[in-house]
Amino acid sequence: MATSFKIQGNLVDVWKKEIYPTEIVIENRKIKSITRIKHLTNQLINYILPGFVDSHVHVESSMLVPSEFARLAVVHGSVGSVNDPHEIANVCGLEGVEFMIENGKKVNFKFNFGAPSCVPATIFETAGAALKSDAVKKLLEKDEIKYLSEMMNFPGVLFKDDEVMKKIKYAYELNKPVDGHAPGLRGEDAKKYIEAGISTDHECFTEAEALDKLKYGMKILIREGSAAKNFEALINLMHEHYENMMFCSDDKHPDSLAVGHINQLCARAVAKGVDIFKVLQAACINPVLHYKLDIGLLREGDDADFIVAEDFINFKIIQTYINGELVAENGKSFIESVPVIAINNFHCDEITNEQIQFSLQRWGHHEQENIEQVHVIEALEGQLITNKLIYPITDFNVEDGCIFSNTEKDLLKMVVVNRYFNAPIAKSFIKNFGLQQGAIASSVAHDSHNIVAVGVDDLSLTRAINLVIQQKGGVSAVSINNEKVLGLPVAGLMSADDGYKVADAYTTIDKMVKAELKSTLAAPFMTLSFMALLVIPHLKLSDMGLFDGDTFSFV
């Protein structure tokens, strides 16, 4: 790598809100000088701008280890990210967080990890680890840990739970911000939550909710991931509130990461008429300032972290530089794969058809009675929230005292299998997956990452779940004549393989679910992964049973 070089182009100066011809001198990983010039000597007139930063992402959801995530992200102009290792912490505890930090250090990309605040996320599911306040404090004391990750336990904040308040206090004592997670929280409760020290929220799904939180001093992240998509609902706020907004993906599967990252949100924002300087303020500047990140912002003396773009319409990225090193050019990543020693926590045995049968009878008042109504989870396209539905037993197929799926009414059986030890299997029903045959299963199941599966018949469900168990983690799909599995042996969440190969494998299995199984969802596996996420209302299924996210109790 050259220790000193010059680059010319039209500098997009977000600080001065100007665009002008510039020559930049890079020396020893830093920007030595930025000089206005009258004319560009190169034939192509490109734009030099700060690199993009994903302000909130769970790298694990890309199914890639951090080093592979970086290989794909730099192609799209991302130079850093704010990473919540909450997923692997729920599986492997502190060892998982350390794994993410150490793997991220092996490549030239600016990962910034947080200390997970909610491990386990709730007491109503089985997780693989627990991080109490003393463990969180030890993490926060590390230089690599930049913030306290999303505080999902907003009831704990409102009712001043001792462990919750200790974690927030430790973050503030160490001058590190606290991320929020409070979907739908409004009014006085939102005010109390923010006044407790919570600085951001990425869960707003209406403009009114976001305005409520902005009013009380919170920063709002516009999230557009593979499942949760809030861009359209919130982008108009950026015209006025750009200084207090950022972009994030939260959860992004490998196929969509291979196509684009924060650059896509910039292109969409400009197409909506948002001023380019406001867009770049949110995409590049605000995350660095809020989280105090060691990422250059195109000023003299800064780290030489910047990108070269062809235009402000498609935001096609020509080059990405990190610490003065060219890490990507014209769609090709120069970050190389690194060896990975997998860690995991996966100890359940393969299951049988009998274990997932849903009995028509239940115990009530000391005697058995037949179920007359069935609670059903309604999955919603592009949202993490679900609806609570109730259907009469006559809408299901009943045979030999058991309840089965009804594909005509799109009422499909859903099960959650404890992956940490053998235990009774939780069963329910779900609507809007649209499967006409077979089943899908995944060990990527927020937040505790037990095995979640949806299918039209018990045999297919059993096959799909056992494929995941055989791989010690993964995503699988089975049809009448076909079966596929993508193994995720790193914590049952990630593959150590080449990121582009993983993206191709995921694309293949995703196409199978849509073409053969006839799923109507845009991202069936990503949607499936959130159907056990108890901290998002309204109805979810954990390995312990069907859970009401409004009352925080089992149905």
Q: Where are the domains of the chain?
A: 53-294, 353-554
Query: Tokens representing 412?
Result: 């499909």
Cα→Cα distances 373→106, 403, 541, Å: 54, 11, 17
Q: Please give the pLDDT value at position 340.
A: 96
Q: DSSP code of 29?
A: T
What is the CA angle 65-69-73, rounded to 5?
Answer: 175
The pLDDT, as a whole number, for residue 228 is: 81
Report the alpha-carbon distance of residue 368 to residue 269 in Å, rounded.
Answer: 58
Q: What is the model's pLDDT at position 43?
A: 62
Q: What is the pTM of this model?
A: 0.94
Nearest Cα to 262, choosing from 123, 538, 76, 440? 76
Q: What is the CATH number of domain 53-294?
A: 3.20.20.140
**CA-CA distance, 384 to 227, in Å (whole number)?**
7
- 547/357 Cα distance (integer angstroms): 19
Mean pLDDT across the chain, nearest whole number? 95
Q: What whole-number distance in Å separates Cα of residue 523 and Cα of residue 521? A: 5
- The CA-atom distances, in angstroms, between 545 and each of 1, 30, 517, 548 are 55, 54, 26, 10
Helix axes 499-515, 66-73, angle to 10 degrees: 80
Number of Cβ within 10 Å of residue 305's Cβ equals 30
Q: How far is CA 444 from CA 118, 452, 528, in A?
A: 17, 8, 9
pLDDT in the model for residue 41: 76
Q: Are 200 and 56 in contact (CB under 8 A)?
A: yes
Which parts of the chain register pLDDT below 50? none
- Tens digits of per-residue pLDDT, 16-71? 999 999 999 999 999 999 999 988 876 667 999 999 999 999 999 999 999 999 99
Amino acid 2: pLDDT: 54
Residue of 258, 271, 276 lying closest to 314 (CA atoms): 271
Task: Give the pLDDT score at 56.
Answer: 98
Closest Cα to residue 196, out of 133, 241, 148?
Answer: 148
Q: What is the pLDDT of residue 365?
A: 55
DSSP 283: I
pLDDT value, residue 390: 96
Q: What is the Cα–Cα distance from 135 to 115, expressed in whole angstroms?
A: 9
> Would you state the pLDDT for residue 363?
57
* Cα dihedral across residues 305, 311, 315, 317: positive or negative: negative
Q: What is the pLDDT of residues 481-534, one digit of tens each?
A: 999 999 999 999 999 999 999 999 999 999 999 999 999 999 999 899 999 999
Rg of the chain (C-alpha set)? 24
pLDDT in tens, 429-476: 999 999 999 999 999 999 999 999 999 999 999 999 999 999 999 999
